[in-house]
Amino acid sequence: MHDLDNLEINSISKSALLTAALHYLSGAGNKYPWEILGLDTPGDIRTSFTVSIDQPDQMIDEIINSPYPIIKIKMGFEEDDLLIRGLSKIRGKIFRIDANGGWNLEKAEKMIFLLSGIDIELIEQPTTIEHVDQWKYLKGKCRVPIFIDEGLNSEEDYFRFADYVDGVNIKMSKSGGIIEARKIALSARKDRRKIMLGCMVESSLGIAPAVYLSSLADYFDLDGPLLLEEDIATGINFNLEMVTVAEDIIGGPKLKEKYAG
């Protein structure tokens, strides 16, 4: 696997190759994938569910009517103020905010202040990466942790930005796969930074490596399969926000018959 990790190819392809190799080793050795990596068995995984940018009233309705208790809310548009006003009236949900670098420093300071008035679990990527050195000053007295996503692709990136952030969002498709992702997570744990494992819109095959790394993480944003019309594989199961692995996960998730041909 380490030879594959050294390939100079795009991160998505490398991640796919490493996942395939891990699943091969898992099946051949009759071991769970996380055992191959020397990691603990996945425990309780509670994923957030993403609500994308739309008209504020439509976003509020979607959040209220969502069966998922943990909501990741995309922000970084002109009507953020109206959205926050609506969020302040909602009860019984856990909110995570993702600005995707959509705020300048002035707006980020304002938004973080407004968000500190409601129950927010974390804020992700308030500005573009060029302003990351200002994030700890943006917070003021706000105790909500700020996570980095965009710009965090490797352990080297982590070392560049660690002093400015409270947590990291690690995605396999950005890091180039499970080996580099594990390095980032272990370094972050050593530095007592919080760890989120994230994903793109992808199947359970795509999120599988993050599930295997879950014993290293504090938060999970693994709703990719929930955003698909149909998942292509079995072995990683969703019960609303709860993500579990099947006993037959040795060898990885199994393609459904109509996709295996």
Fold annotation for 2-260: TIM Barrel (3.20.20)
Band of pLDDT at residue 55, cut at 50, 70 and 90: very high
Q: Which of 27-41, 73-87, 130-144, 241-255 bottoms out in mean pLDDT, i.e. has the lowest?
A: 130-144
Q: What average pLDDT does range 57-62 have in this prediction?
A: 97
- Tokens, residue 177: 């796969």
Would you state the pLDDT for residue 257? 86
Residue 95 near residue 71 (C-beta atoms within 8 A): yes
pLDDT tens for residues 189-200? 999 999 999 999
Q: Is the pLDDT of residue 138 over 90?
A: no
Distance of CA 15 to the CA centre of its chain: 15
Tokens 């208790």 locate to: 69
What is the phi/psi pair of residue 140, to 5°? Answer: 60, -125
Mean pLDDT, all residues of the chain: 94
Would you state the pLDDT for residue 260? 78
Q: Is the pLDDT of residue 80 over 80?
A: yes
Q: What average pLDDT does range 99-108 have in this prediction?
A: 95
Residues shown for the chain: 261
Would you state the pLDDT for residue 7? 64
Q: What are the residue boundaries of the structural domains of the chain, listed by start?
A: 2-260
Q: Is the pLDDT of residue 261 over 70?
A: no
**Helix H or strand E segment including 45:** strand 45-46
State the Cα–Cα distance between residues 228 and 243, nearest whole angstrom. Answer: 16
Q: Is the pLDDT of residue 141 over 90?
A: no
Q: What average pLDDT does range 138-157 have in this prediction?
A: 90
Band of pLDDT at residue 140, cut at 50, 70 and 90: confident
CA 64 vs CA 52, 214, 224, 242: distances in Å: 14, 28, 21, 19
Q: What average pLDDT does range 110-133 have in this prediction?
A: 94
pLDDT tens for residues 209-233? 999 999 999 999 999 999 999 999 9
Would you state the pLDDT for residue 233? 94
Would you state the pLDDT for residue 2? 65
Q: What average pLDDT does range 16-22 have in this prediction?
A: 94
